[in-house]
A = this chain, B = another copy of it.
Amino acid sequence: MRGKVGPATMREVAERAGVALTTVSRAFSNPDKLSPDTLRRIADASAELQYTVNLSARSLRKRSSGMLLVLLPDIGNPFFSLVLKGIEEGAREGGRVLLIGDTGSDATLADAYAGQLDAGTVDGMILIDGRVPFPHGSPARARLMRAPVVALSEHVDDPSIPFVGIDNRAAGRDVAHLLADLGHRRLGHIAGPAANGLTTLREQGFAEGARERGCDLLGTATGDWSIGSGQAAAADILSWPHRPTAIFAANDEMAIGAVHALAAAGVSVPGELSVVGFDDIDFAAVGSPALTTIRQPRFAMGRAAVEAVTARIEGRTTAEPARILPFERVMRASTGPLGSGQTAAGRG
């Protein structure tokens, strides 16, 4: 007697329950179409055999896998944590599971992942990475545009893809206004990577807000979103000929790095220098000093993105090209009014 290999199949369940294969299939998809008696026999049989549906077979036939692909540049970035939780929850409610792709520094990797969309492995895709797979104008890109894809947090350079996120330019302006309201006139900026869309919008907004309030934007140091790059940027800023009295870092991690570097250099925050971050990650609240920042509704953003992509998958054409969510100022201890230790002209 040869042992059976692998898990039980529908055919085996059917045999055991004394019904046709078809009937078992229906028991799992349209139970109300069957007589209670048959249904119970099938339930018993599949319990005895510990039967589970083979999803590859199902998705092959149904042309739908029940999976959502999430593409992000760095799983390690704490900004994504709550966003992912939102996506995860929304996906689960829709009966779908998540495939997560970390595109990292390798740009071609996104292409590889995106291929899964074509390959039928996934039903839809959420792009948290601004870099859209495939070069502009390529056939692959064109096809991608027609698939259920949503851009989250960061705009992509293709207008046909719906966007979910905040108004980053407005947020950048708001930071400048916030600092101007505290009396600051000499501002500095720690930006993200140059190629990044968020970098551009936040920087432009910040510059715009500074101009509106008659502030001087003395300069911009460039980081890469990491804590370490924030430290380096702060060191850079301290070497500027004219030192700002307030700095806006384009994310919280760089801001935290900057605060650390400033403290190490003996510069008091906010006594000598105010620092504002962006995102309001968990650690922003418990630094010392606690970080003033712009809160993004991360969880809600995740939810909105799944909702949008699900709508497209199910053909409910939401004629909604963008969903802009509100951001929020969070005032904490890393900012203060222009103090006595500082002059409007700075240290010069």
Residues of chain A from 54 to 104 with CB closer than 8 A to chain B in the complex: 54-57, 59-60, 63, 65, 67, 75-78, 81-82, 84-85, 88, 92, 97-102
B121 near A55 with CB under 8 A, answer yes
A119 near B286 with CB under 8 A, answer no
B88 near A75 with CB under 8 A, answer yes
B286 near A288 with CB under 8 A, answer no
* Residue of B56, B81, B98, B109 touching A65 (CB-CB under 8 A): B56
Q: What count of chain A residues pass the 8 Å CB interface test?
A: 56
Residues of chain A from 111 to 143 with CB closer than 8 A to chain B in the complex: 113, 115-116, 118-121, 139-140, 143
A81 near B78 with CB under 8 A, answer yes
Residues from chain B with Cβ under 8 Å of A287 in the complex: 260, 287-288
B118 near A52 with CB under 8 A, answer yes
A118 near B7 with CB under 8 A, answer yes
Residues from chain B with Cβ under 8 Å of A100 in the complex: 98-100
Query: Known pairs A55-B119, A76-B78. 19 more at Cβ < 8 A?
Result: A7-B118, A50-B118, A50-B139, A53-B119, A54-B120, A55-B120, A57-B60, A67-B99, A76-B82, A76-B84, A76-B282, A78-B78, A97-B101, A99-B100, A227-B283, A227-B286, A231-B286, A283-B283, A287-B288
